[in-house]
Amino acid sequence: MSDVARSTIAFEGHFARELPELAIAWRAEEAPDPQLLVLNQPLAVELGFDPDFLRSPEGVRLLIGNALPEEATPVAQGYAGHQFGWYSPRLGDGRALLLGEIAGADGTLRDIHLKGSGRTPFARNGDGQAAIGPMMREYIVSESMCALNIPTTRSLAVVATGRQVQRETLLPGAVLTRVASSHLRVGSFQYARASNDMDLLRRLADHAIERHHPSSAGETNPYLSLLKGVISVQAKLVAQWMLVGFVHGVMNTDNMTVSGETIDYGPCAFMEGFDPGAVYSSIDDMGRYAYRSQPVVAEWNLARFAESIATLIHEDEEQAVHLAVEALNGFRQEYSATWFTGMKAKLGLPEGIDDDVASPVVDELLQLVQETRADYTSFFRSLGLAARGEAEPARRQILDLSAFDAWLERWRALSPDADAMDRVNPVYIPRNHLVEEALAAATEGDTGPTEQLLAAVSDPFRERPGLERYAEPAPESFGPYRTFCGT
């Protein structure tokens, strides 16, 4: 690495240094012909990187871990997890590496992490590789989530490796450079607890408190406060998913962060026709992670987190269980409050409106939308027009027009704020057919459709001429949608 690059880039090694039991020192596989496919320039600047350097051959090699500063200590992280309800004691970064932490312009530490960088000791039977399509999916959807103001990991770059990856067919390989507040997961705590090393568990909890929930350090019971903090951020996060119709698809405990950020965009999708039972993951045969089940699953995952740190909460098991259950009881209250507040905002209802007035307005509308399976995103956006007196775009999406007209009359009597509605109801989301179109083109070497889709979803609330197709649901010929993990 050049002296100039070395002087401006510093990967900290806090996780590797403080929690060596959860880390295996490892290096990314050398890519035979790395080529930059997409770079998130605003995020690069925010992190203190020079975008021009990152576009250079040496910068591209840095982005995939092939040209790191000498002092960097890349590691594969160890964690456990419940996958579709079944416990796996040793998962870990099978095809990923934590390069280290970067202090951004505001001084906040953020992880720089790779996906698809090669086999690690956690790889089991996997090949450690990733194909261009799934990495581009994560880039597109995570940047959309960020623009929707939903806590999420970010994507800094996708780099083609020049190596072919064997899936159903041979596909061109790629590495995603991911940015996160951290990669601490519920599964990290499950892994530490299973080791029966209480010192490790305590150090992990202290690390999480310092990194994400610093106010807990001053509490009488900091670990109970940590539990409550994680419950709170996850309740709010899942409520935000539900408000935009996002279906994560693989809500395993190793995919639930302590920070409250969305992580792992494998078999995810945005719901189009409103269907509480919507499932898009090809491997979720039983619908465990269906749209309507996401709050229930989140609560279940958080119970596993509580089990993992119970011994830190109180030395008496019975007392620990009592305190943990009491904390977990707060999940539904926090989730419901966040979701209901968000739904009132989507309908432009005035602040301070009585819940007894707002609740039937919300419930009756959702029933009408569900009966019709109206397009979730475009319907709520069209209500902004209805609030301005132009009801037809919304009416066209509903079957029971007499019931909807009666609802409209009651709703308009509440003086909904159309401008406020437009600030929370997006025009553009990563429509599934457009995502697939972009991924297919990128796989063939054409990133144009990806760039065009990103331009739409990165500014989701402002309707712009020329982008009409990015606001339209998939054509009927697209058929039922299924997504895949890509491993």
Q: Measure the CA–CA gap between 147 and 290, rounded to whole angstroms.
A: 24
Q: Which amino acid is at 431?
A: R
Using a 10 angstrom Cβ sphere, with 0-12 exposed, 13-18 middle and 19 or more buried, the burial of residue 383 is buried
Determine contact, residues 392/441, Cβ cutoff 8 Å: no
Nearest C-alpha neighbor of 116 from the set 18, 31, 25:
31
Tell me the chain's radius of gyration from C-alpha atoms.
Answer: 23
Residue 48: both structure tokens together:
């203190």
Strand 96-103 relative to strand 81-83, pairing: unpaired
Active-site residue flag, 254: yes
Round to whole Å and give the CA distance between 32 and 153.
28
Q: Are 331 and 301 in contact (CB under 8 A)?
A: no
Query: Which of 254, 284, 375, 422 is an active site residue?
Result: 254
Tokens 């990733």 belong to which residue?
130
Percentages of the chain per state (helix, strand, coil), in multiples of 5: 50, 15, 35
- Closest by CA position to 81, among listed 278, 263, 321, 328: 263
> Residues 407, 306: contact at Cβ < 8 Å?
no
**Hey, which residues are catalytic here?**
254
